[in-house]
A and B are shown apart, each in its own frame.
Chain A
Amino acid sequence: MSLYYLQKLFYELNRNETLQVEFRANQEQVLDAFELTGEEREAVLLGNIGLLYVLGVNGQLLMHYAAFCGLAWPDYIQAMRDGITKYGQVRAGLYAMTDGKGAI
């Protein structure tokens, strides 16, 4: 797991509009600059928000990538819940879920 670099990708992507254009044009090439595991790389390429959450990406970074992928807020929340169901508890980073029910 290389959570630092996975989160760095989103940090850079969230704040750099030029990189966003490059990413939309050629995701593979942009990802080559970050030292990701195969699982992390695939999760990004598939826009698999649920898995990215389970891999430990901070929500303050991930919520912007979800919006970048076109997910509305309730869909973003649901994608994380689905990720927990499919892949299990968060593996690294800050988060441990409580009941996961929230309010929406």
Chain B
Amino acid sequence: MPLVFAGVTSHAPGITGRADQADPELKHGFRDALGHMREALEASKSDVLVVVAAEHFANFFFNNMPAYSMGMADFYDGPIEDENWLGIQRVRIPGNADLSDRMIRSIMNYTDLGYAQEWKFDHGIMVPLHFLTPDFKLPVIPVNINCQCPPLTPLHRTYEFGRALRKACDSVPERVAIVGTGGISHWPATPDSGKVNVQWDNDFLERWKNNDREALLSYSDEETYRDAGQGGFEIRTFIAISGATEGVTGDVWYYEPIPIYAVGCTVGVVNGFDE
């Protein structure tokens, strides 16, 4: 089946772990946008949700760090973090190992990636699922792009990974939805936590909305680090979605910095998948 849904959103642990410390208007505005995203995802009647995430040393460490990896299990557990710290109870989430196998084989025709038959979800996947599939019943296939520790995959490779992911989605009979999740500019878990470069974020989101490949791929990691912090490396998750929806524009349904969440909270959906 052709891809049935594509979007992007934030995943910062403060969104659930420090939920009530935010300005109530901002908190509810963001959650309302996530609710609309959930409705759109549900309307797509997807059989599976592929979450393109940027995990934070939950499964992958400096001893063996793949640039790209995809889950290939029939279930996943999460959150790996303390439940009270994250504000999400531990739960088992269904996967689909057979579908993962077929998609991985398809992707490998175009780009290399690792696979994992065990994967504990951290906030990078659990926070989006908490809002998008709150009963945790929809099967999920996790994808990780190393956005935490350089050397990092180049942005043009990320776009190509997205294109390969799209070919895989279109090659299987299941209805596949994809969501990329990461921060734009942010400095999470550092003394600069809460800082957001709104101008940089808006400029990036403009490029993302237009699926302007050249503009999206024009950042150097040095520029991103300088202007958007180490958290800005997670733009790779958004760019992968752009690659998967090449030539198609998107809309940003919500963007507001919520400092206590340590990120500019974002909901974006790619057009044309709701027809």
List residues of chain A with CB within 8 A of the CB of B230: 94-95
Interface string of A62-94 (1 = CB under 8 A from B): 111001100001000100110010000000001
Chain A, residue nearest B58 (CB): A15
Q: Which one of A4, A8, A81 lies within 8 Å of B191 (CB-CB)?
A: A81
Is A24 in the interface zone, CB < 8 Å from B?
A: no
A27 CB–B CB distance under 8 Å: no
Residues of A within 8 A of B229 (CB): 98
Which chain B positions have C-beta within 8 A of A104?
Answer: 193-194, 259-260
Asked if B80 is an interface residue, CB under 8 A from chain A, the answer is yes
Indicate whether A7 sits within 8 Å of B191 (C-beta atoms), given known contacts A15-B120, A58-B149. Answer: no
Return the contact of A60 from the options B57, B120, B192, B195 (Cβ within 8 A).
B57
- Shortest CB distance A73–B (Å): 6
Given the complex of chains A and B, what is the CA–CA distance between A53 and B58 in angstroms? 19
With A and B bound together, what is the CA distance between A73 and B192 in angstroms? 13
Assess whether A11 is interfacial by the CB under 8 Å rule.
Answer: yes
- Determine if A102 and B57 form an interchain contact, defined as CB atoms under 8 angstroms apart: no
Judge whether B188 and A60 touch: CB under 8 Å: yes
Residue of B at shortest CB range from A16? Answer: B80
Instruction: Find the B residue at minimum CB distance from A8.
Output: B61
Q: Is the CB of A97 within 8 A of B80?
A: no
A60 touches B189 (CB 8 A): yes
Q: List residues of chain B with CB under 8 Å of any chain A CB.
A: 14, 17-18, 56-58, 61-63, 80-82, 85, 120, 148-150, 187-196, 229-230, 259-260, 262
The A/B interface has a contact count, at CB < 8 Å, of 88
- Whether the Cβ atoms of B80 and A14 lie closer than 8 Å is yes
B74 to chain A, nearest CB (A): 21
Known contacts: A58-B57, A58-B148, A58-B149. The answer to whether A102 contacts B194 by CB under 8 A is yes
- Render A27-67 as a binary contact track against B, CB cut-off 8 A, 1 for contact: 00000000000000000000000000100001111111001
- Contact at B260–A103, with CB atoms within 8 Å? yes
Q: In the complex, which residues of chain A have a beta carbon less than 8 angstroms from the beta carbon of B63? A: 8
Closest Cβ of chain A: how far from B55's Cβ, in Å?
9
Q: Quick check: A73 and B18 within 8 Å, CB to CB?
A: yes
Is B62 in contact with A4, judged by CB distance below 8 angstroms? yes
Q: How far is the CB of B256 from chain A (nearest CB, A)?
A: 13
Chain A residue nearest to B62 (CB atoms) is: A4
Q: For residue A99, which residues in chain B have a CB less than 8 angstroms away from its CB?
A: 192, 195
CB neighbours of B194 from chain A (8 A): 102-104
- With both chains docked as a complex, state the minimum distance between the C-beta of A79 and any C-beta of chain B, in angstroms: 9
Q: Is the CB of A63 within 8 A of B189?
A: yes
**Complex partner residue of B82 from A58, A62, A67, A100, CB under 8 angstroms:** A67
Q: Are A59 and B188 in contact (CB under 8 A)?
A: yes
A59-B190 contact given A7-B62, A102-B195, A104-B260, CB 8 Å threshold: yes
Q: Are A97 and B61 in contact (CB under 8 A)?
A: no
Smallest CB gap from A102: residue in B: B194
16 contacts between A and B (CB under 8 A): A4-B62, A8-B63, A14-B58, A58-B149, A59-B189, A59-B193, A60-B57, A60-B188, A61-B56, A61-B57, A68-B82, A80-B191, A94-B149, A99-B195, A102-B195, A103-B194
